[in-house]
Amino acid sequence: MRKTYIGELEEVILLTVAILQEEAYGVAIGLHMEQQLNRKLSISAIHATLHRLSKKGYVSSSMGGATAERGGRRKRYFKVTTAGCRVLNEIQDARNLLWSQVPSNALTT
């Protein structure tokens, strides 16, 4: 089986989608990352990453209702799929495993 890799940015955005739950759409994700991580991304970068994630099957999406502030345009809401949950958990487990092997004095700054 071809193993699907997930990049750092993809991982962070996937997590953000999970955090925002029902409210996960482009602008909200961007603002959340800016506020929480102080990380400014261009809108297109977020869209591109979400696009990649949905191609890999880690998120699914659906269109919401029209809103006035977007000039009557609808939002596309994203949701983490089961595969997405699994990959996030796998990453977390892998990290935990490695962290547990780091000697206690190795990373003190």
Q: Which amino acid is at 98?
A: L
C-beta separation of 84 from 6 below 8 A? no
**Torsion angle, alpha carbons of 16, 14, 82, 67, to 10:** 60
108 binds another protein (CB under 8 A): no
48 binds another protein (CB under 8 A): yes
Q: Between 47 and 79, name the residue whose CB sits nearer to another protein.
A: 47
Among 25, 32, 59, 88, binds another protein (CB under 8 A): 25
10 binds another protein (CB under 8 A): no
Those residues with Cβ within 8 angstroms of residue 1's Cβ, 6 or more apart along the chain or in another chain: none
The binding site for another protein (CB under 8 A) comprises 25-27, 30-31, 42-45, 47-48, 51-52, 63, 68-71, 73-76
